[in-house]
Amino acid sequence: MVAMLLALVGLTRSWVGLAAAEEAKPVVIPSGLRYEFLARWDVERLNRILIQDMPRFSGVSVAYSPARTAVRLYRVTYPSVVPEQGNRPTLASGLVAVPDDATTALPLVSYQHGTVYGKREVPSFPEESPETQVMIAQFAGQGYALIGADYFGLGASPEPEGYMVKQSHQQATADMLAAGRAVLADLKRIPTGLFLAGWSQGGFVTMAMLERLEATGIPVAAAATASAPVDVFVPLNGFLNFPRKNDAVWVNSLFILSAFAFENYYGVPGLARSVLTDDSYALAKAAYERKAADPTRIPTDLHALIRPDYFDPQFFATSAYGRLVAQTQAYRWVIRSPVRNFYGETDEAITPGLGQLAATYQRAFGNTRVEAVSTGDTSHRGTFAKAVPQWKAWFDSLAR
């Protein structure tokens, strides 16, 4: 009897090992994408993210809806193209997160992440992305399917980073939506509505994605942002020519990442060198390329980072860099979907005026579908922390 029990235990272990091995193998879908199981996060971990980890990340305590179910996480690699380079084929990556329960029909949230400094601080590497973790806990742990693109140059992408390169952001997110839906279908899950959300850079990407989806006839139930730079010329011009006492020391990275990304994607040789001082160029290039560099050596004083001519508003506006920046906007079309742009009164990167810009523009010609919502006296991260549960409550009301 003992020998038989031991044999059964050994057989059970072999079945479990075989199942785990099968689960770990990437699944290839005929459309050319593949996905692989990453992890299962239980309810205890999800609630720890909401109660402990997020306050540490954001600096504020916020009441979130507790997770109801564990979540299964998958990394997706999918084919895409680079629009700025004649639709050159490329590969991109992202995340699919689904509740670990028997529910078939799920509302779908596409989350667009903020600016990151590590190549893997993105949705498809959720252990390294605190903002993705809170979205997983608050949405997938509450019965939503959650997807998120890594953007070109991040995650598993072989490209240089396409920071604030609008059409590439639109392409990466639209293709991730198609990939996410294909993965959900393979998992026998049915998305019942589409919601968009994004913070900081991801707020811009969310609005750009919405523009693309509306133009192609894909319905969006609602879109919500936090600290969204919907017109990139506005904050960069402000940092150069109208600095505030509370401007973030890390705004130097916005100039660095955009200057090199625009040079690479728009094909303007020497663009970054024309913007950055000789003393800062090599360090800035290493930072953009994610090479070993001491970030403390990169000037936080913009006058040490940026060439003097750019502090003349007319020069900035007419320069090659300034003209590309001025094209980088995502609010000047007639928006048909419900939108809420959340902003903080003391955000160190996004002024209240910029936070309200899309709503102000749309209301100027009578469109009331876009609302600007204040989160009060909040920092950049605090605005995100306070916006997320409000996104959730709004999406819940529409999903019902």
What digits encode the pLDDT tens for the residues 30-66?
778 999 999 999 999 999 999 999 999 999 999 999 9
Average pLDDT value over all residues in the chain: 93
Strand order through the sheet with 190-199: 27-28, 34-41, 71-82, 88-99, 145-149, 105-112, 190-199, 222-226, 339-343, 370-374
Q: What mean pLDDT comes out for the span 342-371? A: 98
**Could you state, in order of their start, the residue ranges of all structural domains in the chain?**
27-231+333-399, 233-326
Largest CA distance in the chain: 89
For 144-175, how does the pLDDT look when each residue is reduced to its tens digit (9 = 90+)? Answer: 999 999 999 999 999 999 999 999 999 999 99
Residue 324 has pLDDT above 90, yes or no: yes
Q: What is the pLDDT of residues 239-248, one digit of tens each?
A: 999 999 999 9
Residue 13 scores a pLDDT above 60: no
Q: Give the pLDDT confidence score for residue 9 in this predicted structure.
A: 38
Has residue 306 got a pLDDT over 80? Answer: yes
pLDDT of residue 77: 98
Tell me the fold of 27-231+333-399: Rossmann fold (3.40.50)
